[in-house]
Amino acid sequence: MVSPAEYQADCLYRVLLPEGMTHPVLYETVKALRDKVAWFEGIVVVPEYRRRGIGLQVKRFVDRWAAQHHADFIISSPSNAAARRLNEETGHKVLEPGVDLVFKLADFDTGEESRVVFPVERGMDPTGVVDAVRQLRVPHGRSLRFGQYPVPAGAGVDLDGREHHVPAWDYGRIGWFEWDARGYRGMVFAPAPGMRVG
């Protein structure tokens, strides 16, 4: 099933509203989550039809459908190795286990970004489920920017544009994903003061 990220938006609103966060950033972030992000539950192909490319065709169709319905991004939660490979093959950035998908409000026309960062709420979190995200089209105006926290070991691009190697998991920074019209370009690192995701 593919749908707007309404469940995640409602969770965000319900969790933060009782804490007294009624700032316009919360409202605009929830609106962008509902309007600009599609959520895909998953694909199941019956065993006798597997290894024929059916899952790949469905995944590509879902991505196209979501983009045609004005989603800038699509999120899914692959729950096994085959699902993770399918997401990678279709251009989704698949996070490692133990890494949270985070987002913030951004204006892609002015370059302004919120300093408030939120984790994606998955609801029930079965073992082995990770997050995957893909930019479907180049965002304009207010939308969301996605990243990962903590930054797992590996390489990425720092804020100054230099290649940067992370020797071990880095809990002091967020790795923000960078895309262009051709797809995923890399990560930009930024400080993550006071992150409370998990």
Question: What are the sequence ranges of the domains in the chain?
Answer: 2-191
Q: Is 151 helix (H, G, I), strand (E, B) or coil?
A: strand
Looking at residue 120, what DSSP letter applies?
P
> What average pLDDT does the segment 12-29 reach?
67
Q: Is 84 helix (H, G, I), strand (E, B) or coil?
A: helix
The H-assigned helical ranges of the chain are: 6-16, 24-36, 54-68, 81-89
pLDDT tens profile 41-61: 888 899 999 999 999 999 999
Q: Is 157 helix (H, G, I), strand (E, B) or coil?
A: strand
Please state, rounded to an integer, the average pLDDT across all residues of the chain: 83
Place of tokens 């304009």: 140
Q: How far apart are CA 157 and CA 97, in angstroms?
A: 22
Q: How far apart are CA 169 and CA 136, in angstroms?
A: 28
What pLDDT score was predicted for residue 197? 44
Record the pTM: 0.84
What pLDDT score was predicted for residue 85? 94
Task: Domain 2-191: give its CATH code.
Answer: 3.40.630
> What average pLDDT does the segment 23-29 reach?
77
> What average pLDDT does the segment 115-143 reach?
80
